[in-house]
């Protein structure tokens, strides 16, 4: 199994009026197939930009992004992207929202059953007819996960998906995400600013520097799942990552 | 609780209507002028015109149906032109900047100012349809553009990550998310169109239409029928507005604001 995603000295700048803002500089990274990778970094360092580069929503200003050897193209690759913001279509009910991705990627015949199957996988059986404004933030995230998983994605990209949720819901969804991941064994890129979350979820953690972002450190987390948050190795991993981040923040 | 509130506000509305009609009747009796008929005379005029017809033999319902038909036809054309153009202009800022020097000044010409041109250049039903179109077009266009521009970037990104092409994005993301604005544009457009038709009919040649009814009886100084025409216009306008509003409520269950 070769690397699924490769970034070769990627740079990204944005123009804002007369100024150019350099968000990412000379960032190299490779992610193996089936890995659960977390990306952490100081807030505003360009994590979301990195994710958009990986799924082809943005093009790099310099360097190369390769997914299975080619530049990412959502029309060819299948991505399952979970956004930080609420990305459900408010005019569609829960079931129709899960069907949205399938309508694009599949022929229309079997999508109803598939959508129902993935809804029950995320524990939302019985909520098919509800509209997004009638369900909680945690349930909306579950619908988004079901929608992304239903298209059988090659890669799952998650941009601080649980950041807006309360601590309890966040921990429940983290456990459910791990269950789904171990069942389907997909490559997951999970962006977060929450170190605890990263150590709980990831096989590998990429720490980014402050803007312009590049890789500060890559930490392999050699802990068995499910991980205990209070165990000494868990805490020492946390301290290590926090230490890296602290250097970046004080360097501001 | 909710039901009781509604019944209460309905009762209150009915009460104020009765008070208004009573004061109007009182004023008519007190002035005792043939030029200010009270609600009772208007009611008798209603029965007279509805059954026996006006001086040319047209009944009230045929006047009303003719006006409604003209308005709906013009309104349909306005929707068919303004919605696609609005989506296009909203999606492509370059189109917007090319077309706005033409559209912006035209927008401020009141539909009534087009009447002479319409009368000279157009004939028959096209004359009315054109005027309704002019009146209804801009509210629909501007609302559609605004709705399209308000489309959430996250939803568009989300669709792109599934590999959606621009056609899919337009029809499955942009249009449904702009639809509430489009509908309120349609509602305003229909209202403006309805008001234009009356002005157009007053000047246009056909002997039938609510505007024509008013002019015919104004020339005869029969104010009871004039007021009957005015009231009919008001009530039909109200019904048309309500029809769109209730469509909006049904369509946009997902929008919390509309249900209030």
Mean pLDDT, chain A, rounded, equals 90
Residue A32 near residue A3 (C-beta atoms within 8 A): yes
Chain B residues lying within 8 Å of A92, measured CB to CB: 254
| Interface contact B170, partner A, CB < 8 A | no
Q: Are A167 and A57 part of one and the same domain?
A: yes
Q: Which of B155, B162, B165 sits opposite A105 (nearest CB)?
A: B162
Query: Is residue A23 in a domain?
Result: yes
Using 50 as the pLDDT threshold, list the residues of chain B that sit under it. Answer: 258-260
Task: Give the chain A residue nearest B165 (alpha carbons).
Answer: A75
Q: Are A173 and A187 part of one and the same domain?
A: yes
What pLDDT shows up at residue B91? 92
Structure tokens at B143: 């609302």
Chain A residues lying within 8 Å of B163, measured CB to CB: 73-76, 78, 104-105
| Interface contact B171, partner A, CB < 8 A | no
Probe site for chain B from A77, A90, A108, A150 (most B CB atoms < 10 A): A90
What's the rounded Cα separation, in Å, for the pair B56 and B207?
Answer: 8
- What are the angstrom distances between the C-alpha of B188 and each of B110, B184, B238, B240? 15, 6, 12, 11
Query: Is residue A109 in a domain?
Result: yes
Residue B180 near residue B255 (C-beta atoms within 8 A): yes
Helix boundaries (H) for chain A: 47-54, 94-105, 111-121, 137-150, 167-184, 195-201, 232-250
Q: Are A19 and A91 part of one and the same domain?
A: no
Q: Which of A83, A105, A132 sits opposite B158 (nearest CB)?
A: A83
End-of-domain residue from the set A103, A119, A153: A153
Q: How many CA atoms lie within 13 A of B79 on its CB side?
A: 18
Query: Is residue A197 in a domain?
Result: yes
| Interface contact A232, partner B, CB < 8 A | no
Q: In 3D, which of B119, B116, B129 has the Cα closest to residue B80?
A: B129
Q: Are A163 and A245 part of one and the same domain?
A: yes
SS3 A65: strand
Domain that holds residue A192: 3-77+155-250
Percent of chain A predicted with pLDDT > 70: 98
Q: Which of A57, A100, A133 sits opposite B160 (nearest CB)?
A: A57
Query: Is residue A82 in a domain?
Result: no
What's the rounded Cα separation, in Å, for the pair A237 and A227?
Answer: 12
Query: Is residue A120 in a domain?
Result: yes
Say if residue A81's pLDDT is above 50. Answer: yes
Q: Are A245 and A162 part of one and the same domain?
A: yes
Q: Are A8 and A113 part of one and the same domain?
A: no
Work out the minimum CA distance from A100 to partner chain B, whole angstroms: 8
Probe site for chain A from B147, B154, B155, B158 (most A CB atoms < 10 A): B158
Query: Region A165-178: what's the mean pLDDT?
Result: 90
Q: What is the CATH number of the domain that holds A240?
A: 3.40.50.300
What pLDDT shows up at residue B224? 92
Structure tokens at B104: 């912006």
Q: In 3D, which of A121, A170, A110, A125 has the Cα closest to residue A148?
A: A121
3-state helix, strand, coil in chain B (%, to 5): 85, 0, 15
Work out the minimum CA distance from B158 to partner chain A, whole angstroms: 7
Per-residue 3-state assignment (H helix, E strand, C coil) for A156-208: EEEECCCCCCCHHHHHHHHHHHHHHHHHHCCEEEEECCCHHHHHHHCCEEEEE
Per-residue model confidence as pLDDT tens digits over A17-69: 888 999 999 999 999 999 999 999 888 888 999 999 999 999 999 999 999 98
End-of-domain residue from the set A153, A173, A207: A153
CA A215 to chain centre: 17
Q: In 3D, which of B237, B241, B146, B142 has the Cα closest to residue B187?
A: B241
Q: Are A159 and A145 part of one and the same domain?
A: no
Structural domain count of chain A:
2
Task: Give the chain A residue nearest B159 (alpha carbons).
Answer: A101
What pLDDT shows up at residue A3? 73
Q: Are A160 and A145 part of one and the same domain?
A: no
What pLDDT shows up at residue B253? 76
Contact between chains at A74 and B163 (C-beta distance less than 8 A): yes
Q: Are A160 and A236 part of one and the same domain?
A: yes
What pLDDT shows up at residue B94? 87
What pLDDT shows up at residue B258? 46
A12 forms beta bridges with A24
Q: Are A182 and A161 part of one and the same domain?
A: yes
What pLDDT shows up at residue B175? 94
Task: Give the chain B residue nearest A89 (alpha carbons).
Answer: B155
Q: Are A38 and A160 part of one and the same domain?
A: yes
What pLDDT shows up at residue B120? 87
* pLDDT-based confidence at residue A190 (cuts at 50, 70, 90): very high
End-of-domain residue from the set A128, A153, A178: A153
Chain A residues lying within 8 Å of B161, measured CB to CB: 55, 57, 74, 79-81, 157
Work out the minimum CA distance from A143 to partner chain B, whole angstroms: 13
Query: Is residue A69 in a domain?
Result: yes
- What are the DSSP E strand ranges found in B41-154? none
Q: Which of B158, B164, B176 sits opposite A81 (nearest CB)?
A: B158
What's the rounded Cα separation, in Å, for the pair A67 and B93?
Answer: 33
What pLDDT shows up at residue B257? 52
Q: Are A119 and A189 part of one and the same domain?
A: no
């Amino acid at each position: 199994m070769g690397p699924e995603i490769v970034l070769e000295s990627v740079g990204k700048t944005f123009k804002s009026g007369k100024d150019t803002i350099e968000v990412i500089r000379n960032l190299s990274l490779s992610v193996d197939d089936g890995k659960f990778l977390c990306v952490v970094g100081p807030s505003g360092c360009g994590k979301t930009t990195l994710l958009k580069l990986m799924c082809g929503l943005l093009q790099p200003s310099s360097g190369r992004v390769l997914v299975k050897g080619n530049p990412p193209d959502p029309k060819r690759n299948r991505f399952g992207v979970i956004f930080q913001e609420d990305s459900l279509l408010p005019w569609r009910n829960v079931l129709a929202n899960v069907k949205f991705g399938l309508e694009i990627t599949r022929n229309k015949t079997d999508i109803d059953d598939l959508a129902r199957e993935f809804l029950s996988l995320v524990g939302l059986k019985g909520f098919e007819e509800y509209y997004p404004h009638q369900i909680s933030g945690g349930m909306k995230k579950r619908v988004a996960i079901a929608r992304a998983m239903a298209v059988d994605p090659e890669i799952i990209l998650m941009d601080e998906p649980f950041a807006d949720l309360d601590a309890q819901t966040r921990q429940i969804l983290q456990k459910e995400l791990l269950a789904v991941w171990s069942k389907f064994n997909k490559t997951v890129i999970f962006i977060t600013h929450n170190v605890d979350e990263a150590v709980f979820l990831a096989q590998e953690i990429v720490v980014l520097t402050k803007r312009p972002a590049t890789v500060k450190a890559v930490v392999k987390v050699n802990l068995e799942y499910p991980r205990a948050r209070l165990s000494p190795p868990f805490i020492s991993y946390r301290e290590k990552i926090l230490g890296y981040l602290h250097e970046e923040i004080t360097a501001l | 609780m909710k039901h009781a509130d509604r019944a209460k506000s309905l009762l209150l509305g009915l009460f104020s209507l009765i008070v208004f009609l009573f004061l109007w009747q009182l004023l008519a009796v007190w002035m005792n002028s043939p030029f200010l008929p009270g609600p009772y005379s208007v009611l008798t005029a209603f029965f007279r015109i509805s059954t026996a017809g006006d001086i040319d033999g047209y009944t009230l319902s045929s006047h009303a149906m003719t006006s409604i038909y003209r308005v709906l036809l013009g309104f349909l054309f306005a929707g068919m032109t303004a919605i696609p153009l609005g989506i296009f202009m909203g999606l492509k800022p370059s189109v917007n900047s090319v077309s706005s020097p033409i559209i912006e000044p035209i927008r401020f010409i009141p539909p009534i100012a087009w009447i002479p041109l319409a009368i000279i250049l157009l004939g028959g039903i096209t004359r009315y349809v054109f005027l309704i179109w002019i009146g209804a077009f801009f509210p629909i266009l501007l609302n559609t553009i605004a709705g399209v521009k308000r489309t959430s970037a996250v939803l568009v990104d989300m669709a792109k990550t599934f590999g959606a092409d621009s056609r899919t994005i337009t029809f499955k993301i942009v249009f449904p998310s702009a639809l509430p604005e489009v509908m309120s544009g349609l509602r305003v457009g229909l209202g403006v169109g309805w008001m234009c038709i009356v002005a157009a009919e007053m000047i246009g040649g056909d002997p039938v239409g609510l505007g024509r009814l008013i002019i015919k009886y104004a020339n005869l100084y029969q104010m009871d029928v004039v007021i009957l025409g005015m009231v009919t216009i008001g009530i039909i306008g109200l019904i048309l507005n309500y029809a769109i509003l209730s469509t909006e409520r049904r369509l946009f269950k997902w929008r919390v604001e509309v249900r209030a």
